Amino acid sequence: MSPVPRYRIPALALLVGALCAVAAGGGDAAGATSGTVVGATVPSSTTLDVSACLPGSVGRTDLGTIMPGSSSISSIPCDIRFGSSNDSSNLRVSQTDGFGAAMVRLAVRDVDITGTSTDNLRKVDALPGGRAWTTGYTGRILRSDDFGASWTAQSSGIATHIHAIDAVDPSTAWAVGDSGRILRTVDGGATWTIVPPGPLSGTLRSVAAVSANEAYVVGNSGLAYRTPDAGATWTSLALGTGSTAWDVKADGRGGVWVTAGTRVYRSSDDGVTIASVVPGGSLLALELLDADSLLGVGTGGTIYRSDDSGATWAAQSSGTASTLWELTTSSATHAVAVGDGGVILRTTDGGATWVPVPSPTTKSLRGVAAVDDATFVIASDGGGTNGQVLTSASNPVPEPGSGGSWTAPGGGMFAACLLAADGGATTDPSSWQATGSCGANGVDPWRAVPSSAALPAALIAHAPSGTTTARARLDFGMRVEPGRVPGSYLAPVTFTVVAPDA
Residue 102 pLDDT: 77
Residue type (1 letter), 56: G
Question: What is the C-alpha separation between 271 and 267, in angstroms, rounded?
Answer: 5
Question: What is the C-alpha separation between 257 and 304, in angstroms, rounded?
Answer: 14
Helices within 266-407 (DSSP H only): none
| Residues facing 34 on adjacent strands | 18
Question: What is the C-alpha separation between 60 and 420, in angstroms, rounded?
Answer: 15
Question: What is the C-alpha separation between 71 and 302, in angstroms, rounded?
Answer: 41
pLDDT per position as a tens digit, 431-478: 898 988 898 887 788 999 988 888 999 999 999 999 999 999 999 999
Residues 6 or more apart in contact with residue 345 via CB below 8 angstroms:
318, 319, 320, 324, 336, 337, 338, 354, 355, 356, 357
Collect the ranges in the chain with pLDDT lower than 50.
Answer: 1-26, 114-118
Residue type (1 letter), 368: V
Question: What is the C-alpha separation between 247 and 326, in angstroms, rounded?
Answer: 9
Q: Cβ distance 259 to 283 under 8 Å?
A: yes
Residue 99 pLDDT: 64
Q: Distance from CA of residue 159 to its chain's centroid?
A: 34
Residue 384 pLDDT: 58
Residues 6 or more apart in contact with residue 138 via CB below 8 angstroms:
114, 118, 119, 159, 160, 161
Please calculate the CA angle 312-317-319 and round it to the nearest 5 degrees: 150
179: phi then psi, degrees, rounded to nearest 5: 55, 30
348: phi then psi, degrees, rounded to nearest 5: -120, 10
Question: What is the C-alpha separation between 307 and 290, in angstroms, rounded?
Answer: 9
Query: Residue 467, Cβ neighbours under 10 Å: how many?
Result: 18
Classify residue 237 as exposed, middle or buried by CB count within 10 Å of its CB (0-12, 13-18, 19+): buried
Residue 31 pLDDT: 82
Residues 6 or more apart in contact with residue 294 via CB below 8 angstroms:
249, 257, 286, 287, 288, 305, 306, 309, 310
Q: Cβ distance 218 to 234 under 8 Å?
A: no
Residue 495 pLDDT: 94
Residue 409 pLDDT: 87
Claim: this prediction has a pTM higher than 0.85: no
Residue 112 pLDDT: 53
Residue 118 pLDDT: 44
Domains and CATH numbers, the chain: 4-43 (no CATH), 47-97+397-498 (2.60.40), 104-394 (2.130.10.10)
**Terminal C-alpha separation, the chain:** 22
For every residue of 124-176, which 3-state class applies, written as one string? Answer: EEECCCCCEEEEEHHHCEEEECCCCCCCEEECCCCCCCEEEEEECCCCCEEEE
| DSSP helix/strand/coil, 178 | helix
469: phi then psi, degrees, rounded to nearest 5: -125, 30
Strands 43-52 and 78-84: antiparallel
Classify residue 338 as exposed, middle or buried by CB count within 10 Å of its CB (0-12, 13-18, 19+): buried
Question: What is the C-alpha separation between 420 and 443, in angstroms, rounded?
Answer: 16
Q: Cβ distance 85 to 45 under 8 Å?
A: yes
Radius of gyration of the chain (CA): 28
